[in-house]
Amino acid sequence: MTKNEFTKVLKSKINHLPKSERRKILQYYYEMISERMEDGMTEAEAIDALGNIDELLSEYSPAPSEPRRGVRLRAWHIIMLIIGAPLWISLVAAMLCIMLAFYIIIWVLVICFYVVFAALAASGFALTMASFLSFFYGGAPYFFLLFGAGAFLSGLAIMWLIVCNLFAKAMAKVTGKSAKGIFRFFFKRR
């Protein structure tokens, strides 16, 4: 038997144990085989020296004969759930409203950032267009003043767009991670 075959058989025998316990057992026997191989034994000899897998695992809790079923609620549990329903339903509804408000606030901030960008870009464009009209009606000083202000606002709009994109990406990560965390909190794998 090879180390991989031994590991597969061992995994199938300890599948009923918790994941952390399985990891410890597999690591223990894997290291034990590796140490014996370092001492000069072949892979097959090292595995044979361990003995029968069933005897090795006799110290661990036996496999359950029947899969566990869900928790059975007693009558008083059900009565308490019904009596407490006005309280816990309202608390759950309030929590959902707070989470929804959190998401709305975050995305309204992102929209506000883009509205500021649109205002800067529109102002820059309008001042640049107005500068050409002022050249004919107000002279060169107004042209340069309006054109400079328009160019400045257009440049500021471009830099603000970069900030908006970074902020939107960061908020997408925050809302995604918080949604995953909330989902894991309510729907844990057992």
pLDDT, tens only, 40-91: 888 888 888 877 777 777 766 554 545 556 667 788 888 888 898 889 899 9
Higher pLDDT, 151 or 52: 151
Q: In the predicted model, is pLDDT for residue 190 greater than 60?
A: no
Which residues does 13 contact at the CB level (< 8 Å), separation at least 6?
A: 53, 54, 57, 63
Q: What is the pLDDT of residue 184?
A: 84
Strands (E), 44-110: none
Supply the pTM of this predicted model.
0.52
The pLDDT-based confidence of 127 (bands split at 50, 70, 90) is: very high
Dihedral in degrees, nearest 10, Cα atoms 30, 33, 37, 39? 110
Structure tokens that stand for 68 in this block = 């566990």
Dihedral in degrees, nearest 10, Cα atoms 110, 112, 116, 118? 80
What would the mean pLDDT of 147-168 be, rounded to a whole number?
95
The pLDDT-based confidence of 120 (bands split at 50, 70, 90) is: very high
Cα dist from 87 to 59, 93, 165, 186, 187, whole Å:
47, 10, 42, 18, 22
Look at 24-38, 57-71, 79-93, 95-109 and tell me which has the smallest mean pLDDT: 57-71
Rounded Cα–Cα distance for residues 116 and 136 (Å): 31
What is the b/e burial string over 27-56, where b = at least 16 CB atoms within 10 angstroms of the residue's CB? eebeeebeebeeeeeebeebbeebeebeeb
Q: What is the pLDDT of residue 76?
A: 84
What would the mean pLDDT of 111-125 be, rounded to a whole number?
96
Higher pLDDT, 183 or 59: 183
The pLDDT-based confidence of 172 (bands split at 50, 70, 90) is: very high
Q: What is the pLDDT of residue 104?
A: 94
Percent of all residues in the chain with a pLDDT value above 70, rounded to a whole number:
92
Rounded Cα–Cα distance for residues 49 and 96 (Å): 59
